Amino acid sequence: MASGQAAQDTATLHPTDKSAVVEVSDLSVIFPAKDQSVVALDRVSLTIREGEFISLIGPSGCGKTTLLRVIADLEQASSGTVLVNGMSSREARLARAYGYVFQAPALFPWRTVLQNVMLPLEIHGRSAAEGRSIAREHLERVGLTGFEGKYPWQLSGGMQQRVSIARALGFEPKLLMMDEPFGALDEITRDRLNEQLLRLWEREKRTVVFVTHSIPEAAFLSSRIVVMSARPGRIVEVIESDLPADRTLEIRETPAFMKIAHRLRVALASGHGS
Amino acid sequence: MAAEASSLRAVDRALPVLAVLAGSIALWYLAAIWLNAPQVIERVFADRPDWSWRELLAQTWSMDRPVLPAPHQIALDMFHSAFDWPPDSPRSLLYHAGVTSGATLLGFVLGSLLGAVLALLIVNLPTLERALFPWIIASQTVPVLAIAPIIIVILGSFNLTGLLPKALISMYLCFFPVVVAMVKGLRSPGVFERELMHTYAASKQQTFWKLRVPASLPFLFPSLRVAIAAGLVGAIVGELPTGAQAGLGARLLTGSYYGNTVQIWSALVMAALLGLTLTAGVSLVERVTLPGGRQ
């Protein structure tokens, strides 16, 4: 496939790109099983540059979450290499180079909202006073001022996920990884959070890697979309988005947006067929 | 408005408890008539065949050594034996309650510590789980009534008497619920929570203190309530074979030795009140330790 070839070329053309935050080359992940081993990722290559908003999209089982988890050192590569800021993913994790947002908010129920956001700062050895002021600032950025003293169970699902985003951003990581963070939320909440996330990205210009299985979400958020197919997990196509950075939800009615969504749908369908 | 609502809720909660209490006291008085009447007729009314029902009732509720003492007899005996003597006199019920609670509390502290240490070992070294758990469970199938005299005899041969042997028997019953609950609690954090700490590059100690320990507390406190109640039983059982020197167990033993049923019952009620107080104490600590974190 021509576009798949193009994606391979991008990686091989700029193997030591100065602005590369994440460089994945020839990565394979095989989960051993009794009867037949599962090839979760098959020789995947991808370069993510600073300031990009990358979405990984594909059907379930295509390895998009596995790819994210290998970058985050939550899963081990069977072969191939992953570099984060030029370091191995383990070194990058120990250097606290990234923030990670899980599918569930994973807030600690015995901590207040403020204390939850302070958690990584505590672990990284910041003083309590410093941690408190940083946590307050980041709660304000996700629109949760006034909820500092509440406990997680007193918040709605959407608010809980915003707390977990504030928590991931609190220690100012250059790279933010999100694994279907809004998957469990209703459409309306998801739309609003998508818009807030986009504003956050636009303002702070952090690199974001975002896993989703929603076409409109990927098309709306991303500057580049990586389409993957299942069994074995491969990159089928990489789609550049030409939508303006300051886009709002209304852009979903425009032909430019429709075109990207259409290309995504075609790429997903072709990946599914092969 | 809010205060009114909360006092209404308190009444709602107290009402069923009070209704059961009133019902049981009424049944108790009836049972006292039924169980004591044969004795009264045989002994007191032996030479007075003209006794009336009214006299029979009065007699069954005021015997010296009834089969079943009436509630007010027990209440009066408790009051007198608690307040007619100075609290350090061996005739004071409060003195005996104090002796027993001392042994219970020491046993509870030792048992909880032992339980926590065992749980830590089991959680950190999975092979220990297979090695230790069968023994931990087997230890609880041995009747404490059989273990208690053995412990007392062995410790007595080292000149260890009094508080410590009783506390050890109490500890023997205390540690078990704590081990089981702590193992479960320390393992309760889910995959996301553990991976979250991993992405923060948190050390093992940090994961332990900031995730595992707080996550285990909601499991720990119910087990502590069970443990302190079991520990009280252990302390009382430990007081039975010591030659009845002091403690509620000793009161039970002397009471049954001299056929003083009222004294047995007041020691029994005192033990129940002590158990309630001790568990309430644990609940209070729980409420202070876990503020608002309830789900």
pLDDT in tens, B100-119: 999 999 999 999 999 999 99
Interface predicted TM-score (ipTM) over 0.90: no
Residue A71 confidence class, pLDDT cut points 50, 70, 90:
very high
Please state, for a pLDDT cut of 70, what percent of chain A lies above it: 92
B window 218-277, beta carbon within 8 A of A? none
pLDDT score, position A272: 64
In this complex, do B198 and A151 lie within 8 Å of one another by their Cβ atoms? no
Q: Tell me how far apart the alpha carbons of residues A204 and A100 are, in angstroms, rounded to a whole number.
A: 16
pLDDT of the residue at B106: 95
Tens of pLDDT along B9-67?
Answer: 878 888 888 999 999 999 999 998 899 888 888 877 777 777 788 888 888 888 888 88
The pLDDT assigned to B184 comes to 93
pLDDT of residue A13: 42
Q: Tell me the nearest-neighbour CA distance from A39 into chain B, angstroms.
A: 23
Tokens for A211, please give them: 């896993």
Three-class DSSP category at B36: helix
- Listing from the earlier edge strand, what are the strands of the sheet with A207-212? A98-101, A175-179, A207-212, A53-57, A224-229, A234-240
List the single residue in B199, B202, B293 with the smallest CB-CB distance to A100.
B199
Q: Which of A3-7, A185-189, B38-42, B250-254 is predicted with the least confidence, judged by mean pLDDT?
A: A3-7
> For B237, how many CA atoms within 13 A lie in the half-sphere containing its CB?
22
Residues of chain B where predicted confidence (pLDDT) is lower than 50:
295
The DSSP bridge partners found for residue A56 are: A211, A226
Is the model's pLDDT at A89 over the cut of 80?
yes
SS3 annotation, B172-214: HHHHHHHHHHHHHHHCCCCHHHHHHHHHCCCCHHHHHHHHHHH
Vertex A134 angle, CA A131 and A140, to 5°: 135
Nearest CA in chain B to A121: B200
* Chain B residue whose CA is closest to A169: B200
pLDDT of residue A174: 84
Q: Measured between CB atoms, does B206 come within 8 Å of chain A?
A: yes
pLDDT in tens, A191-249: 888 888 888 888 888 899 999 988 989 989 999 999 998 878 888 889 888 888 788 88
pLDDT tens digits for A257-268? 888 999 989 888
- Average pLDDT over chain A reads 85
Evaluate whether B221 touches B154 at the Cβ level (below 8 Å): no
Instruction: Please list every residue in chain A whose beta carbon sits closer than 8 Å to the beta carbon of residue B217.
Output: 110
Torsion (CA) B89, B93, B96, B100 in degrees, nearest 10: -150
B204 touching A (Cβ < 8 Å): no
The two structure tokens encoding residue B77? 């005996």
pLDDT band at residue A32, thresholds of 50, 70 and 90?
confident
Q: Is A90 on the interface with B (CB under 8 A)?
A: no
Q: How confident is the model at residue A16 (pLDDT cuts 50, 70, 90)?
A: low
- Alpha helices, DSSP H, located in A101-254: 113-123, 128-141, 157-169, 187-204, 215-221
Residue B24's pLDDT is: 93
* Interchain pair A93, B211: CB under 8 A: no
Q: Which residue has the higher pLDDT, B241 or A22?
A: A22
A147 closest CA partner among A114, A171, A115: A114
Q: Please give the residue of chain A at the shortest CA–CA distance from B290.
A: A110
The whole-angstrom distance between residue B107's C-alpha and the CA centroid of its chain comes to 12
State how far the Cα of A4 lies from the Cα of A239, in Å rounded to an integer: 10
Instruction: Please report the pLDDT score of residue B243 as a whole number.
Output: 58
Position A211: which residue type? Answer: V
Interface test with B, best of A108, A121, A180 (most B CBs within 10 A): A108
Mean pLDDT for the stretch of residues A52-64: 88
